[in-house]
Amino acid sequence: MENKNTIKDHIKWEAPEFEHFSKDKSWSFASGLIALAVLIWAVWTKNFLLAILICVGYFTFVAYAYKKPRKINFAVTPQGVQIDKTLYDYDNLRSFWIYYQPPQIKELSLRSRKKLMPYIKIPLGRQNPADIRAALIQYIPEKRHKESLVDDLSRAIRF
């Protein structure tokens, strides 16, 4: 019989890789209008490299905006945090924080020791944040992480 005070060895869940917002015609029109205005300015100033970058960037932006998220498997284990087949062991993680403002924001933030990828954001899906916190606090410290400007902006424009 399991003691209710013990933490599970493994917590597994599945969630979409990112929150997908449906985009209507006005969203596409507004983003296209902004890209067109910057493109016209780049051509007018004879900055053709910028014009090419605007075109490539806009088409990449639109392709990603309409991309449907795939389901990803996540797990918190005694060895580390696993995202599909990649394991982030606790020795390479500085801290964690759980952003929880339902229904919109429900994600785990891991601060890595790597300089090129300092934060790893993991959607919690339907997983109970209290269970994740109880498991992680055994291995790494809980420390408030600041949301980036990119996170705030992407939520504001529903990207």
Domains of the chain, by residue range, sit at 11-18+70-156, 25-65
What's 8's DSSP letter? P
CA distance 96 to 109: 6
| Paired tokens of 76 | 């918190």
Q: Could you tell me which of 109, 107, 88, 110 has the C-alpha nearest to residue 16?
A: 107
Do residues 122 and 81 touch, judged by C-beta distance below 8 A? yes
CA distance 109 to 129: 12
Global model pTM greater than 0.75: no
Distance of CA 84 to the CA centre of its chain: 15
CATH code 2.30.29 for 11-18+70-156: yes
pLDDT (tens, 9 = 90+) of the chain, 159 residues, equals: 343 444 566 899 998 877 767 777 887 888 899 999 999 999 999 999 999 999 999 999 888 888 888 899 999 999 999 999 999 999 999 999 998 887 777 889 999 998 887 889 999 988 989 999 999 999 999 999 887 777 667 666 665
Distance of CA 22 to the CA centre of its chain: 17
Residue type at position 45: T
